[in-house]
């Protein structure tokens, strides 16, 4: 039985609920029988009606939700009163936190459940801005320098800086600062930077250019979008709260014809390369910065808001088709298996007493 999984203990919880409800509605309208699994802000799991509205989750767990438990062992997964729910395929609509950083992906691998999006390693790489930036730079792709914020950080680029949570998305917690001391202070005061922060040059008057990548039935790129922004960077409010949500935010789409041909080629080439670096699977959105004709790879969102369904205007692909393809790809994928080859007991049989090993 397939399930759409959404929510989670993350700052992006609310956006995840919106993404999950859209995916669930599209699949049920297409005649697919699915489970809807809600991950609450407190980390608890619930089986909910896939036909619910966003407002049903505004105050927390919706009425008539049935509590589930998750067991990370083969044949288990989500259970009701210790009875497996029967979910063997999960379409993940989880943004940020443990839903996108490899945590739930690793748990699903242990439970023998196939899922959308990259595996645990790819998810962690996509979430870690420092590691992702290093991988992009090492691959020779255009990127801005980044430095980890520590007490003795000495970036080799001048302020002003844009300081970002090392792990996080949707522009949550991002600040523009005039000096390094302020950036260092944010690592202590911001709840979003407790696990670390990075700084990079703040390019004033730059703009964002985004493209979606999907991997089924083959690797394919969407049209390029140029979001409109009023502040120094494309922040959470402009992404998700203006214009009625992400799909309604002001943007130029498609923007391909308004960009120089060489820039479009750089974006396309970089997107394909990054897809290989991260192990993109299902759908992802790759974000670029552009200024004065120069374009840099910025960040990747391995489970993007609304699954980037709104970007597929050229080539035109319906939302129903996009989500159906995501689920089909997972259903056709191979389950990750583990091996104990070499663990034949010889080292245990020949070992001396543990007390001797301890000296």
* Residues near 272 by beta carbon (within 8 Å), at least 6 away in sequence: 213, 219, 221
Of 170, 201, 232, which closes a domain?
A: 201
At residue 208, what are phi and psi to the nearest 5 degrees?
Answer: -95, 145
pLDDT value for 281: 97
Q: What gap in Å lies between CA 105 and CA 46, rounded to an integer?
A: 18
pLDDT value for 194: 87
Residue 134 forms part of a structural domain: no
pLDDT value for 321: 98
Range of the structural domain that residue 240 is part of: 207-315
188 and 246 fall within a common domain: no
Residue 53 forms part of a structural domain: yes
Of 70, 100, 115, which closes a domain?
A: 115
Asked whether 5 and 20 are in contact (CB, 8 A), the reply is: yes
Residue 133 forms part of a structural domain: no
186 and 227 fall within a common domain: no
Q: Which pLDDT tens digit goes with each residue over 296-315? A: 999 999 999 999 999 999 99
pLDDT value for 244: 58
Q: What gap in Å lies between CA 278 and CA 126, rounded to an integer?
A: 6
CATH number of the domain that residue 163 is part of? 3.30.1490
197 and 211 fall within a common domain: no
292 and 230 fall within a common domain: yes
8 and 107 fall within a common domain: yes
Residue 167 forms part of a structural domain: yes
267 and 177 fall within a common domain: no
190 and 269 fall within a common domain: no
13 and 102 fall within a common domain: yes
265 and 180 fall within a common domain: no
Q: What gap in Å lies between CA 98 and CA 70, rounded to an integer?
A: 14
Q: Measuring CA to CA, how many Å separate 274 from each of 258, 302, 307?
A: 24, 11, 18
The pLDDT confidence band at residue 242, using thresholds 50, 70 and 90, is low
Taking residues 210-222, report their average pLDDT: 98
DSSP bridge pairs for 299 = 287
95 and 30 fall within a common domain: yes
* Residues near 316 by beta carbon (within 8 Å), at least 6 away in sequence: none
Give the chain's domain count.
3
237 and 292 fall within a common domain: yes
244 and 272 fall within a common domain: yes
Taking residues 180-185, report their average pLDDT: 93
CATH number of the domain that residue 243 is part of? 3.30.470.20
């Amino acid at each position: 039985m397939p399930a759409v999984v959404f929510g989670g203990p993350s700052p992006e919880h609310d956006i995840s609920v919106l993404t999950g409800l859209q995916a669930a509605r599209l699949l049920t309208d297409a005649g697919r029988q699915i489970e809807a699994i809600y991950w609450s802000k407190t980390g608890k799991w619930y089986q909910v009606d896939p036909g619910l509205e966003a407002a049903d989750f505004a105050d927390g767990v919706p009425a008539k939700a049935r509590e589930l438990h998750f067991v990370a062992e083969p044949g288990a997964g989500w259970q009701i009163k210790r009875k497996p729910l029967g979910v063997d395929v999960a379409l993940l609509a989880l943004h940020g936190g443990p839903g996108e950083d490899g945590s739930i992906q690793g748990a699903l691998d242990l439970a023998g459940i196939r899922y959308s999006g990259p595996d645990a390693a790819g998810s962690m790489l996509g979430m870690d801005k420092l590691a992702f930036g290093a991988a992009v730079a090492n691959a020779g792709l255009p990127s801005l320098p980044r430095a980890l914020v520590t007490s003795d950080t000495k970036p080799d680029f001048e302020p002003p800086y844009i300081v970002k949570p090392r792990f996080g998305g949707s522009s949550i917690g991002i600040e523009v600062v005039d000096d390094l001391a302020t950036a260092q202070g944010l690592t202590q005061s911001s709840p979003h930077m407790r696990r670390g922060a990075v700084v990079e040059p703040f390019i004033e008057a730059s703009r964002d250019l985004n493209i979606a990548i999907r991997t089924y039935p083959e690797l394919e790129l969407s049209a390029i979008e140029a979001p409109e922004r009023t502040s120094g960077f494309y922040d959470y409010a402009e992404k998700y709260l203006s214009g009625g949500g992400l799909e309604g935010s002001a943007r130029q789409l498609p923007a391909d014809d308004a960009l120089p041909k060489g820039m479009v080629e750089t974006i396309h080439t970089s997107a394909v390369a990054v897809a290989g670096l991260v192990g993109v699977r299902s759908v992802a959105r790759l974000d670029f910065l552009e200024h004065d004709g120069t374009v840099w790879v910025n960040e990747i969102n391995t489970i993007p808001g609304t699954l980037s369904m709104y970007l597929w205007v050229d080539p035109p692909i319906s939302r129903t088709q996009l989500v159906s393809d995501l689920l089909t790809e997972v259903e056709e994928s191979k389950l990750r298996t583990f091996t104990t080859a070499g663990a034949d007991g010889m080292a245990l049989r020949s070992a001396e007493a543990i007390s001797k090993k301890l000296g």
